[in-house]
Structure 1
Amino acid sequence: MKKDIILKAENISKQYRLGQVGTGTLSHDINRWWHKIRGKENPYLKIGDTNDRSTKGISDYVWALQDINFEVERGEVLGIIGKNGAGKSTLLKILSKVTAPTTGSIKSRGRIASLLEVGTGFNGEMTGRENVFLNGAILGMTKKEITSKLNEIIEFSGCERYIDTPVKRYSSGMTVRLAFAVAAFLEPEILVIDEVLAVGDAEFQKKAIGKMQDISREGGRTVLFVSHNMAAVKSLCTRGIVLENGTIKFNGDIEEALDVYLSNDNYTEHSIIFDENTKRDGSGNMEFLSLEIRNQNNKLSNEFSIGDDLSIRFKLKNNSSETRSEVGIQIKSSDEMPIFHIMGRDSNFVLNHNSVIEEFEINIKDIRLFPGVYTISLTSNNTTGHQMFDSIENALSFQIMDGGKYTIRNLPRAAGLFFLNPEWKKL
């Protein structure tokens, strides 16, 4: 069966020059011109660092995106995920034709509506109603088409009371409500949405995700969705692209994409030592020094099967005169859903402190989580829970690989969270 490709990215790369714009570039411009009239390639395409914001490069040029290739079918909902600075927003701006790629090309069939930043394309001096007509005209709609959808747009946005008020007086939440309603109801073939929905409240986010599902499933239109809300990505998207340092690390099933995304940074490790670069919150009275995961053979590991035992070890430093504390261990799924929360008091264990540095171990017997990637977060509090000493989110992760000793059947990751094998009998 022939694929109905509505959007295709071919060898997309985007290069930026770092530093202050407009200074020291004349020699570069002359060099480019000299190469061009001789029929040679732009010399600055051969240089440049990868898009890693956490390291200092040696070049004045950086590749925000490099050799991006993918296709999107009609009616598909594609999730684009990655860390801050991975190149997601740059890619969407190129797809939306807000900026041009340095190399490569975008081929699309149909109108593209973009929601990249709050109020994109809105004129602050014009009313909400006037901006609906303005945005519709930009999308290529006739006045008659816009008028036929106007009441639905206003009702969905929830801004009816302010629709004849200048947009400059709208809150960011109101602005994004109206902008999304315009983009969704004026029926573009391709809808491109960046993280802007996070500006809206919980009720609107749920409403917007429902609308995106409707327009893709029933309307056959295509959605490209960027978000750090993994639960929203998982529920909405059918396929995922993981960007890392400006390149595609994974392109495929959304469940696998989420696992690959969480396998970044410390997530491929089975142990970690926390230092001054560790992102943490709290008063600092207690401080986590290290964390490691072990299997039932007491070996460091981050891969387990259903039915295995899993041990979590951590070192805690007492920077105060506290003699007792409480530690919480939270396990979350790849879409950041909390699975369970472990505290010492639930096992009648009290953390008494009589040394500056102490090590503790938690043994989880017969783990029953379905295959997938799960993260471990740590918190240290006083015994009443009213004061947080230290907190580290997503410090390490582990992966459940298969059914282990319980079953040899294939266990789909989306089928559930907990594996049970209760007693069966015929009555």
Structure 2
Amino acid sequence: MLEVQHLTKEFKIGAKQERYLSLRDALAKPFRKKDKEASTFLALDDINFNVNAGESIGIIGRNGAGKSTLLKILSRITPPSSGKIVCRGRVASLLEVGTGFHPELSGRENVYMNGSILGMRKAEINKHFDSIVDFSGVEKFLDTPLKRYSSGMQLRLAFSVAAFLEPEILIIDEVLAVGDAEFQKKCLNKMKDVSMNEGRTVLFVSHDMNAIKTLSNTAILLDSGKVVKNDKVGEVIPLYLNRIQLTNNWNRPETSAAPHFTNVSIVVKDHQPQLKLEVTFTVKSDVKMNKAFVAFNISSNTGTMIGQAIPNLEPFIDASFSKQTFTTEIEITGFVPGTFLVSAWIGPHYSETYDWQKDIVGFNIVDTPQPGRVYPHAAEQGNIVPFSKMINN
């Protein structure tokens, strides 16, 4: 069981990190000009909720709503500024690929290390070891150092460890989006089994509303660090979808040395049925990297994946660049009327990710029926209406 009472988390913005002072620094400090005072950012504001044993809770909200901060506090990775958490049982979490693993240790050694962290004896870990390896599919690489694993392999092993070592509370962030569709389905089925059949508590963050509906009976909607609604999934999801504010231009809120997107903007061009989506994106890197390529995922506002656009199958972004801007064009022919979201990915190959930004820009398709495409009734039958015509009539 999990109880969260008046949980608050503050971060200081613009504060300089304290450095060690020499005697001369200490004597001169009172006479120096004071630095500008740091401002405070309230990431979580008086959060309250209870989760019973065997219950599965979906946590939803826009980017920056406080979802990941909440999970980090519940996982004891970062402390709250105030408030109380009552947690009965062992907690296993999967928040980022590689978190809790040691890159120099083999996959086998990392399994035992994670089991020890959860307080399990070696005999207990041995009992579940074969199931972990079988589910993860990394048997051939079990004695290879983790740093040699792709991000997808690390994810599979990390989820298997978290799910099969029988924690009373399992916490999963949006990290599963990195995995392929087949593995995501396996994970969702396993989490459902863990909750319904094994009586364990699951907290799950996702932008995929279909996954939330499949796994959870209850959902919590966060916005600007506050609980907007804590209710049945059928009550919370429509409220979240109605609050989505589309933007056609996204700028990265913080910088990073690793290769990453700094800006993504979109424009819908032409008319039905030959609509095109023009995507302009800027990529920046302050470190040496391998050549990379990009992909753009398009999904409905409920999280249903519509398709993935890969403008160039070969890595085309040069390793020596610091900042470059590109434009690509994506055909969106036959989309039914509705709201669609675009995610951006960059990496050197399919199994490794440099940057992944989920649902950062969006666009609307309006109802403009064309011969061979009857749009008004199509939304209930899918998101794409293929062109059709009668040959004999």
TM-score over 0.5 (shorter chain): yes
Q: Do the aligned partners of 2:301 and 2:339 also contact (CA within 8 Å) in 1?
A: no
Matched with 1:13 is 8
Pick the aligned partner of 2:39 from 51, 56, 60: 60
Q: 2 CA distance for matches of 1:155 and 1:331?
A: 31
Q: Which amino acid aligns with 1:66?
A: D
Note if 1:182 corresponds to 2:177. Answer: no
- SS at 2:63 equivalent: coil
Pick the aligned partner of 1:334 from 265, 286, 302: 302
Q: 2 CA distance for matches of 1:119 and 1:175?
A: 6
- SS at 2:362 equivalent: strand
Aligned pair in 2 of structure 1 residues 21, 155: CA closer, same or farther (>3 Å)? farther
Matched with 1:40 is none
Q: 1 CA distance for matches of 2:250 and 2:106?
A: 50
Deviation at 1:333, TM superposition (A): 6.3
Q: Do the aligned partners of 1:266 and 1:396 also contact (CA within 8 Å) in 2?
A: no
Residue ranges of structure 2 left out of the alignment (5+ in a row): 22-36, 252-262, 278-297, 307-336, 343-360, 368-378, 382-393
- SS at 2:42 equivalent: strand
Deviations 1:331-357 (A, max 9, x none): 95634477xxxxxxxxxxxxxxxxxxx
Matched with 2:196 is 217
Q: Which amino acid aligns with 1:170?
A: Y
Q: 1 CA distance for matches of 2:69 and 2:219?
A: 17
Q: 2 CA distance for matches of 1:222 and 1:16?
A: 29
Note if 1:124 corresponds to 2:103. Answer: yes
Matched with 2:358 is none
Deviation at 1:222, TM superposition (A): 0.6
Deviation at 1:84, TM superposition (A): 1.0
Q: 1 CA distance for matches of 2:363 and 2:240?
A: 13
Q: Do the aligned partners of 1:152 and 1:185 also contact (CA within 8 Å) in 2?
A: yes
Q: 1 CA distance for matches of 2:237 and 2:250?
A: 28
Pick the aligned partner of 1:232 from 208, 211, 221: 211
Q: Which amino acid aligns with 1:174?
A: M
Deviations 1:29-53 (A, max 9, x none): xxxxxxxxxxxxxxxxxxxxxxxxx
Aligned pair in 2 of structure 1 residues 150, 244: CA closer, same or farther (>3 Å)? same
Q: 2 CA distance for matches of 1:10 and 1:397?
A: 44
Aligned pair in 2 of structure 1 residues 93, 397: CA closer, same or farther (>3 Å)? farther
Q: 1 CA distance for matches of 2:264 and 2:99?
A: 33
Task: Report how many residues are paired.
Answer: 276
Note if 1:86 corresponds to 2:65. Answer: yes
Alignment of 1:385-396 (within 5 A): 393-395=362-364
Q: Do the aligned partners of 1:234 and 1:335 also contact (CA within 8 Å) in 2?
A: no
Q: 2 CA distance for matches of 1:166 and 1:156?
A: 19
Alignment of 1:245-394 (within 5 A): 245-266=224-245, 280-282=265-267, 286=269, 326-327=274-275, 332=300, 334-336=302-304, 375-377=338-340, 393-394=362-363
Deviation at 1:254, TM superposition (A): 1.0
Aligned pair in 2 of structure 1 residues 75, 395: CA closer, same or farther (>3 Å)? same
Q: 2 CA distance for matches of 1:21 and 1:143?
A: 45
Q: 2 CA distance for matches of 1:190 and 1:82?
A: 21
Q: 2 CA distance for matches of 1:193 and 1:264?
A: 24
Matched with 1:244 is 223
Note if 1:113 corresponds to 2:92. Answer: yes
Q: Do the aligned partners of 1:12 and 1:101 also contact (CA within 8 Å) in 2?
A: yes
Q: 2 CA distance for matches of 1:125 and 1:337?
A: 36
- SS at 1:243 equivalent: strand
Q: Do the aligned partners of 1:197 and 1:205 also contact (CA within 8 Å) in 2?
A: yes
TM-score in terms of structure 2 length: 0.63
Percent sequence identity over matched residues? 48
Q: Do the aligned partners of 2:230 and 2:236 also contact (CA within 8 Å) in 1?
A: yes
